[in-house]
Amino acid sequence: RIKLDKPIYINSACRSPLNNAKINGHPRSLHLVINSHWGTGGCCAVDVAVTDGEYRAKLITLALDREWSVGFASNFIHLDQRFRYCGLPQVVYHYGR
């Protein structure tokens, strides 16, 4: 947040299995508080609200420089630490419609 020099508004962070199912989250979501599939024992993902292109670009650049994986949609950026916590490669992806 300091490097971004702007507030970060979180849309979604840690989810219970019940909440994840309610919002049709992926059953192996990195948002899950207990994720037996990846063995994280806690969530390692957040979704950040985005309002403009400059904010989006700076957030993505900062996240990638710090080994966060990034998923982007029209109104939010998904950030997770899959590399650090799950040993998965860092990725960048787009949420399709």
CA distances to 10, 54, 67, 93 from 21, in Å: 19, 33, 28, 22
Q: What is residue 3's three-state secondary structure?
A: coil
Mean pLDDT for all residues in the chain = 90
pLDDT of residue 95: 87
Q: Measured in Å, how far apart are the chain's first and last C-alpha atoms? A: 29
Question: What pLDDT is attached to residue 65?
Answer: 96
Pair 96, 40: CB distance under 8 Å: no
Higher pLDDT, 59 or 96: 59
Q: What is the structure's pLDDT at 44?
A: 84
CA 48 remoteness from chain centre: 7
Q: In this predicted model, what pLDDT tens digit does every residue of 28-71 receive, in sequence order?
A: 889 888 777 777 666 789 999 998 999 999 999 999 999 999 99
What is the pTM (predicted TM-score) of this model? 0.88
Q: Is 58 exposed, middle or buried (0-12, 13-18, 19+ CB in 10 A)?
A: middle
**pLDDT at site 97:** 63
